[in-house]
Chains A and B, each alone.
Chain A
Amino acid sequence: MIKSVLNVNAARDVVFRILADYGAYASWVPGCARSTVLSTTGTRAETELVLEGMKTITVVLAFDATENQGVRFELVKSADLKNYRGEYRLMDAASGGGTVVIAEIEMDAGAMVPRFMVDRIVKKALEDMGKALHARVKSAPPQVEAAAAAGHGGHKRKRRRVLQIAHTPTGPRIWYVGRLYEPRK
């Protein structure tokens, strides 16, 4: 399972709508040459994707979206992959300026392709997708993009000691943010 954390500068509903628009993947997901929604039942959408890499592969994925929470997918059909599943979970960024996407993807291309190579490909694909998502967000409708949530309340700041200087029989002792120091010339 390859995991990645992406910071996206847009509100959660904007990011969700981009990720849940499976038919538009070809217009922004790197390496996705074609995306066709084959059927939709409730929150589930079977989508055929043509992915171009070292080899062009066609997969049918079943996407399942939970409004503004995230998108899961699993492999329905592929001649090249034995397993391909993943999830994009969305959380409001603590900074208040956007969304944190936690991506988890697992891919098995069979015994002919070593695990380390598959992991490297997935890691690279996630990096590229992160960059593409940033770019895609910039072209999102401005009225929803501006709806970024306010920042989290943060930790309630208690009164805390920052510095203490004491005279001791062995000389001055300086405590600074959890660490002790002794002055030397």
Chain B
Amino acid sequence: MSGITRSVRANREFPCDQELVYDILTDYDRYKEWAPYVRESALLAEAGELAIASLDLAQSREEHISLECIHTTNRSVLHRVIEGDVSFKGLEWTLEPVGPQRCRVSVTIDGPSLMPLGAGRQFADAEGLLDAVLAYAGAYLPELEVEGDRGEVVLEIFEEETGLTCWYNGRQYQMVPVSRPRS
């Protein structure tokens, strides 16, 4: 379908290396944890630098999209919509180092000049996407980047390969599932 198209761009400096952002952007099973209006997400297939991902978007109406994703390790991630009735055609993420543990993340969204209503439009909010990735990156940083007073951390829970660990009042605990005695 032809028509007037436009690109929406945004970029931001992140307090982490580009490898972390690249890992987040290529972990499609976890898009539902950070991407705005993504209700379900899954990696369907992967071969070399190509991946196929599936996203269920939800807001005013439900939409399902399939993305063809082209990865250039730690440098760029290109998403092309290959299935689904959404406003945007594709997204391109580019990552570049700007210093030790810092990188610049840019996102470009290509779509028609008039974005229709629905979750597809919300997903196509470039600034919102950067906000979401930045907030989620905090999960992997030694210190959380938060605005204002950092306060006194009293409890933190981390997920590791061996299970969950907990920091409470400056001490670390391994979290062990409690098994209830059978009555």
Contacts and interface: CB of A to CB of B under 8 A. Distances in A.
Contacts of B137: 178
Contacts of A168: 148-152
A182 to B, nearest CB: 12
B157 A178 contact: no
Given A92-B45, A93-B45, A178-B139, A164 B132 contact: no
Contacts of A163: 155-157
Interface residues of A, number: 35
Contact of B52 (A100, A162, A169): A100
A161 to B, nearest CB: 5
A74 to B, nearest CB: 20
Interface stretch (A16-24, A38-46, A76-84, A150-158): A150-158
Given A159-B158, A162-B157, A178 B43 contact: no
Given A161-B138, A169-B151, A178-B132, A102 B82 contact: yes
Given A91-B46, A94-B46, A166 B139 contact: no
Interface stretch (A1-9, A25-33, A53-61): A1-9
Interface string B106-140: 00000000000000000000000000100111111
In this complex, which of B26, B151, B156 has the most chain A Cβ atoms within 10 angstroms of its Cβ? B151
Nearest to A91: B45
A100 B44 contact: yes
A91 B47 contact: yes
Given A92-B47, A102-B82, A165 B154 contact: yes
> Max chain A CB contacts within 10 Å: which of B26, B136, B139, B148?
B139
A177 B148 contact: no
Given A94-B45, A161-B144, A178 B155 contact: no
What's the dominant secondary structure at chain A's contact region? strand
Given A100-B44, A168-B148, A160 B155 contact: no
Interface in B157-178: 157-161, 164
A122 B55 CA distance: 23
B178 to A, nearest CB: 18
B140 A166 contact: no
A143 interface: no
A164 B135 contact: no
A136 interface: no
Contact of A5 (B29, B30, B52): B52
A159 B20 CA distance: 12
A185 interface: no
Contact of A102 (B27, B33, B52): B52
